[in-house]
């Protein structure tokens, strides 16, 4: 199945012009605690933890409160509220702060970490610690990481609906693009396989050769969009953990262990479906992750495709070059671009390229492989992307 078989709801065809949808604006409406007289105080306390700028959180709002009411029971909230933004606490410390016996507190923390998966836990025995993560990226991924849709419950479905409603308020506009880029997408392999300027860090297969442990799970973004009725139909089993970082995820049942050959076959299938991949951290001693994304589901990409906020994604090494003597203005490239970086007027033979949206994935060149009017050329004076690991923690 070709990439053009799949739809991208962020791309529209209007009057013969193929290009991106009109960007959304932030529409979150901040409120105060007094606006929620029927919500337990403990749950509002937890909501205020997740609204902290330290967790890149939204303001207190209807969507956030609804999500917190769904995720936390009042009893769970009376415990969880004692873990501050980006704080890590032992069960003993939480019990002391809550003035409750450790025998009552520890099972609640374990349930939140291992069943609901809203908290992250690490360590062993009495030194085991519990911490909260940003809602995105962080908690929502942990809640939904799983190798099969068979374990999705009505609770997860409702979680997805409420999380999607919160994310789509655009609260992230307060944070997106304000720091250094977090990831860099790699060009599709077949588009640069003969490109002499391609670096090893541009080639997914070469990066995979650095690792000997691979785990795969379902893409959490595509799970959300499928469960809210906007799924694009692309493969969900494409999110990977690499090296030592894969082991705890495999052991916890969140990821399925695979061999490198299967990992590579999954990525090739993903590219054929119009998905594009990024990889972190690229250091075998630290492990890494690699997801294959689409512009209609991926929350990272949707900061651009839905809200037109570049900044989280690093500039590309390669960009498309169009030979207009060959171009037929068929619009296949604009349909294939996951970012809406291309606009083609198929009636009046006009072509536009938005460099701020382009991530250099080369799906446009793949879509034009028959006509061969597009090839990928290196960006002059390109500086290799250096990942800020702190931005991922």
**pLDDT surpassing 60 at residue 3:** no
What pTM did the predictor assign? 0.93
CA-derived radius of gyration, the chain: 22
Q: Look-up: residue for tokens 């294959």?
A: 292
- Outline which parts of the chain fall under CATH 1.10.10: 33-138+159-169
Average pLDDT across the chain, whole number: 92
Query: What pLDDT, on a 0 to 100 scale, did the predictor assign at position 292?
Result: 96
Q: Is the pLDDT at 93 greater than 80, yes or no?
A: yes
- Say if strands 17-20 and 276-283 run parallel, antiparallel, or are unpaired: unpaired
Mean pLDDT of 11-40: 96
Angle at 248 between CA 246 and CA 253, to 5 degrees: 95
CB 277 within 8 A of CB 240: no
Evaluate if residue 389 carries a pLDDT over 60: no
Q: Is residue 175 scored above 60 in pLDDT?
A: yes
Of 63, 42, 257, give the one whose Cα is nearest residue 162. Answer: 63
Considering only the top CATH level, what class is 33-138+159-169?
mainly alpha
Contact (Cβ atoms closer than 8 angstroms) between residue 294 and residue 361: no
The per-residue pLDDT for 81 is 97
Number of H helices, E strands in the chain: 15, 14
Q: How many CB atoms lie within 10 A of CB 221?
A: 26
Contact 301, 170 (CB under 8 A): no
216-236: pLDDT as tens digits: 999 999 999 999 999 999 999
């Amino acid at each position: 199945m070709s990439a053009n078989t799949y739809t991208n709801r962020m791309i529209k065809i209007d009057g013969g012009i193929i290009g991106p949808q009109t960007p959304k604006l932030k529409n979150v409406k901040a409120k105060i605690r007094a606006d929620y007289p029927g919500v337990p105080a403990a749950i509002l306390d937890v909501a205020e933890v997740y609204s902290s700028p330290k967790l890149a959180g939204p303001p207190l709002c209807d969507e956030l409160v609804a999500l917190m009411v769904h995720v936390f029971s009042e009893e769970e909230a009376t415990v969880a509220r004692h873990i501050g933004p980006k704080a890590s606490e032992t069960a003993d410390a939480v019990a002391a702060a809550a003035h409750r016996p450790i025998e009552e507190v520890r099972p609640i923390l374990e349930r939140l970490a291992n069943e609901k998966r809203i908290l992250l836990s690490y360590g062993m025995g009495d030194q085991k610690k519990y911490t909260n993560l940003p809602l995105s990226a962080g908690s929502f991924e942990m809640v939904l990481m799983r190798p099969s849709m068979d374990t999705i419950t009505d609770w997860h479905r409702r979680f997805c609906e409420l999380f999607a409603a919160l994310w789509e308020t655009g609260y992230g506009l307060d944070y997106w693009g304000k720091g250094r880029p977090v990831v860099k997408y790699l060009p599709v392999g077949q588009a640069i396989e003969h490109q002499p300027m391609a670096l090893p860090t541009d080639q997914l297969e070469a990066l995979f050769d650095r690792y000997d442990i691979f785990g795969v799970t379902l893409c959490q973004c595509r799970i959300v969009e499928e469960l809210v009725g906007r799924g694009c139909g692309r493969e969900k089993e494409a999110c990977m953990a690499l090296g030592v970082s894969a082991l705890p995820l495999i052991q916890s049942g969140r990821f399925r262990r695979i061999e490198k050959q299967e990992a590579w076959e999954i990525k090739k299938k993903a590219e054929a479906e119009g998905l594009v991949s990024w990889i972190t951290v690229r250091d075998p001693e630290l492990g890494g992750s690699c997801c294959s994304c689409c512009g209609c589901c991926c929350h990272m990409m949707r900061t651009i495709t839905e809200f037109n906020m570049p900044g989280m994604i690093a500039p590309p090494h390669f960009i498309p070059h169009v030979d207009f003597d060959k171009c037929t203005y068929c619009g296949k490239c604009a349909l294939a671009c996951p970012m809406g970086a291309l606009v083609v007027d198929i009636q009046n033979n006009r072509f536009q390229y938005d460099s701020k949206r382009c991530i250099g994935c080369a799906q446009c060149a793949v879509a034009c492989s028959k006509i061969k009017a597009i090839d990928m050329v290196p960006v002059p004076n390109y500086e290799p992307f250096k990942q800020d690991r702190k931005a991922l923690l």
